[in-house]
Structures are given as C-alpha cells and as structure tokens.
Amino acid sequence: MRLRTLLLLALSALLVGLDWAWEARHPRLGADLPVLMATVAGLLLPRPLATLVGWSAGFLHGLAAAQNAGFHAATGAVAAFALSSWERPAREVTPAVGAAVAAAAALVVGLGRNLVFPSASVGADLLATAASVVANAVLAAPLVLLGRRVGVDSNR
Amino acid sequence: MRGPGRSARRPSALSHGALLLGLMGLGGVVSGMQARARTLNRLDPVTMAGQGLLAPVAILGGVVHDGLAGAGAGLLYGAALRDENARLRALANAARLYDDRVALLDAELRERAEGRTAVRAVGRAPLTARIVGYAAAEGRVTLDQGTANGVRPGLAIVSGGGLLGTVQTAARNRATGLYVASPNLRLGVMDVSRRPPALGLLQGGGAGEAVATFYDVRTPVEVGDRVVTSGFGELVPRGLLVGRVVAVETDDRYGVVRALVLPEASLGASRTVEVVR
C-alpha cells in the first residue's frame, strides 16, 4: 500500500474522529464527514483509492457511532466509486466544484435518510440537512484545494 | 484522444468493480457481526477496535471544541454573563433573607399559639400584647397594652409555652413587665415532677436564671424537674410552666433546698406575648 493511501486513510480516521466529537455536541448540525470524504476522494483520487477511502470513512463512522458500519461503508464506497467514474483530470476540479458536489451529496444523503427514517420533527430534519449541506460545502473547498496542491491526479 | 486509454482501462474497471464488491462484502460481514453482537447486548471486537482508534482524536477534538466554544462564549457573552451572575447573586441573597424572615415569623407564630394554649389551659383569657421595648440588662419589657384592656400589675405574662414574667406597672395603653429571671421578681412555684408537688419561692437570679427555694431540706428536687406557678395569689394562675431545674443544692444550715431553674421563656425570643387576665 502506497504511503499516500495510508495518509489518506489516516486523514479519513482523523476527520471521522472529529466528526464523532462534533456530533456528540451538536447531533443535528454536523457536516456529514464520511459523505464529504467520499465526495472529495471520488473527485480527486483514482477509482480504487477513492473507493477505499470512501469505504473506510463510512466504515469508521459506523463503528464510531456504533451504527451499522457495513451500511455506512457501502454508502461511502459507492459514492466514491461513482464520482471517480466521472472521468476528468483531478486538477480540473476546482474548490467551487468540490463544494457544489459535496453540498449536493449531503443534500441527497440528508433527504434520503429522512425518507428512509422519517421522524416527527420534519422541520428539525430539514434544518439539519441544510446545515449539513452548508458545512459540507464549506469544508469541501479547502480539502479540494489541498488535494490539488499535493498533486493528486486521478489520471484516469 | 481517450481511445487507447479506454481499451487499456477495461480490465482495471473490472478490477475496480471487484474491489467495490469485495469491500461491500466485507462491510456486510462486519454488519452481520455487529448485528449479532447487538442482539447479545455486547459490543463486537471490530466496533471496539474502531472506537479505540477514533477515541483519541474524538477526545482531543472534543477538548479543543469545548475550549474554543468556551472562549467564544466568554468573548461574546462575557458582559451579559457577568450581569446575569450579579443578578442571580442578588436574587440568592434576597431568597436567603426571605427564608430567614419566614423562619422567624414561623417561630413567632408557633410561640404565640403555644402561649395562647398555655393560658387557656389554666382557665384564663389571653390578651395578646406586642413588646415595644426591651431593657435586657434590667430584665424588663414594655408592652403596648395597658389598663384600658384590663392589664394590671401582677398579671402573668406568657411567651411560648412558658411564663415570661409578670406585669410590674400599667398605664392606660402601656405596661412594663419583669422577666422571671429578674432579681426583683418573687413568685410562688411548685415542683410538679414530684408527688405531692413541692412548694417553693422563686426569685430571679439574673443572668437568665432563677432560684427556687424549697423550705424543707427533705424536698426531693432533682435535675430536670418541671417547675410551674403555684397559683396561691389572685393574679398569677396555677400551673403556668416556669422552667426546668438544672442544678440542686441542699443547704443544711438554713434547712432549705435551692434549685437553679432555667426559664422556659427567654427574653427577646418573641415580639408578642400573652397577658393572662
């Protein structure tokens, strides 16, 4: 396994750990970091690496929250796999594109989650989804910028 | 431009798909393990390992988050919090004072009820009087009732469950009373803890105590005995509790027994008293 892969997995663990700490304090206002990681990885990394990072981010998130790790891992892996199949040089992905795609992914996940697990507090769910969309967009931009700086190029 | 690349990537696309399927299969295995462990109310080893891996980051992140949140709140709301703190302190002080006041009033009400009960128990009518002046050193109180309401010198004054003293002087709307421990007060008493009750004469000894003298050296007075008014005079009724014996001394030379009596009623404990008419 290449050093870059290890570093990316470590970054996933770091972000998921922060996500865990954040969600413990603001359960309804968190950025969906596994989705964010899968999105950024899918945009910037070669497909196998992106799939691995998306899977591990979702998997760790599931473990941290003692939820269904397999389900989260599959979600992350599929998202990263699908995005990395969108063939383009990673250097063409601007922070704005990364932010937009991460926001869209957060929106899809948030709305999908509310459809699958409907709750009585629809207003609060929508607010949480909106907050997640904004947070994902804000966090995706610097991550994409960082990925471009370190020379990641999927070279598909 | 992508033509040659595409033909070269085909096998890799298959391998990528296999990787995805493999990862999802692994996820399914872990998922089943988690579900089984949860059914048994346990935490599976993979979850424990994952949480162990993430816990240091989460704890550190939580500490940093809390610190930043605290610092931010301090900057944003510091002045408001300080004002709120001052207001809460003032409220707490007011509540404490209120509690003290309520406790004081409760005690007064209780004493007053006890006083009225004690007066009625000896078959007399109580007249509530307010103490409007104290002369603690002389053991004297001034009451806001006088001859207009039937107060006259010699009547008993009751506070709480016990005799506070007797009326010394009475004007139309004022009266002065002598505390039971005042050296100027003499009163017939009896020790009702003995059978038959032992008769004696009580004289104030100052310093909040009185001395009951029993003129028979064989009088069996003991510490803890209850001393009440004897009621042989016209004005002070029989049976008002004066106090309890705290020390006994037998004087063979004069053939008397002297008992130190601690009055039941204390001067200054209450603002209202009952005059026994």
Residue A18 scores a pLDDT above 90 = no
Residues B190, B163: Cα–Cα separation, whole Å? 13
Mutation for testing the A interface, residue in B14, B23, B26, B46 having most A CBs under 10 Å: B23
User: What is the reported pLDDT for A28?
Assistant: 63
Mutation for testing the B interface, residue in A47, A83, A86, A155 having most B CBs under 10 Å: A47
DSSP letters, B167-217, are EEEE-SS-EEEEETT-TT-EEEEEETTSSSPEEEEEEE-STT-EEEEES-T
Q: Choose among B20, B56, B57: nearest Cβ to A51.
A: B20
The CA dihedral of A140, A144, A147, A149, to the nearest 10 degrees, is -130
A6 near B CB under 8 A: no
Residues B60, B81: Cα–Cα separation, whole Å? 27
Question: Which one, of B260, B56, B126, B35, lies nearest residue A14 by Cα?
Answer: B56
User: What is the reported pLDDT for B172?
Assistant: 84
Mutation for testing the A interface, residue in B21, B24, B63 having most A CBs under 10 Å: B24
pLDDT in tens, B210-219: 899 998 888 8
Residues A91, A103: Cα–Cα separation, whole Å? 20
User: What is the reported pLDDT for B160?
Assistant: 78
* Chain A neighbors of B10, CB-CB under 8 A: none
Residues B28, B227: Cα–Cα separation, whole Å? 91
* Chain B neighbors of A71, CB-CB under 8 A: 27, 31
Question: Which one, of B176, B179, B237, B221, lies nearest residue B203 by Cα?
Answer: B179
User: What is the reported pLDDT for A99?
Assistant: 93
Residues A93, A41: Cα–Cα separation, whole Å? 11
Query: Burial letters for B96-133: b for 16+ Cβ neighbours within 10 Å, e otherwise?
Result: eeeeeeeeeeeeeeebbebbeebbeebebebbbbebee
- What the block records as the tokens of B18 is 């296999």
A47 near B CB under 8 A: yes
Strands B175-179 and B210-214: unpaired
Residue B107 scores a pLDDT above 70 = yes
Which chain A residue's Cα is nearest to B30? Answer: A70
- What the block records as the tokens of B175 is 């009266």
Residue B9 scores a pLDDT above 70 = no
Provide the ipTM: 0.78
Give me the mean pLDDT over the A85-114 stretch.
Answer: 85
Task: Give the percent of chain B with pLDDT over 90.
Answer: 16
Supply the DSSP symbol for A14.
H
In this prediction the pTM is 0.51
pLDDT in tens, B207-240: 778 899 998 888 888 899 999 998 887 788 888 8
User: What is the reported pLDDT for B2?
Assistant: 40
Instruction: Flag if B23 and A51 touch (Cβ within 8 Å).
Output: yes
User: What is the reported pLDDT for A132?
Assistant: 85
User: What is the reported pLDDT for A147?
Assistant: 80
Burial of A75 (0-12, 13-18, 19+ CB in 10 A): buried
Residues A135, A94: Cα–Cα separation, whole Å? 17
Give me the mean pLDDT over the B150-177 stretch.
Answer: 87
User: How far from the centroid of its chain's Cα atoms is residue B179's Cα?
Assistant: 28
Q: Choose among B20, B53, B58: nearest Cβ to A81.
A: B20
* Chain A neighbors of B59, CB-CB under 8 A: 21
Instruction: Flag if B23 and A52 touch (Cβ within 8 Å).
Output: yes
Mean pLDDT of chain B: 83
- What the block records as the tokens of B16 is 């990528």
* Chain B neighbors of A77, CB-CB under 8 A: 20, 23-24, 27
Residues B268, B56: Cα–Cα separation, whole Å? 66
Comparison of pLDDT for A15 and B29, the residue scoring more = B29
User: Do residues B257 and B266 touch, judged by C-beta distance below 8 A?
Assistant: no
Give me the mean pLDDT over the A98-103 stretch.
Answer: 92
Predicted confidence band at A30 (pLDDT cuts at 50, 70, 90)? low
Q: How far is A23 from chain B (nearest CA, A)?
A: 10
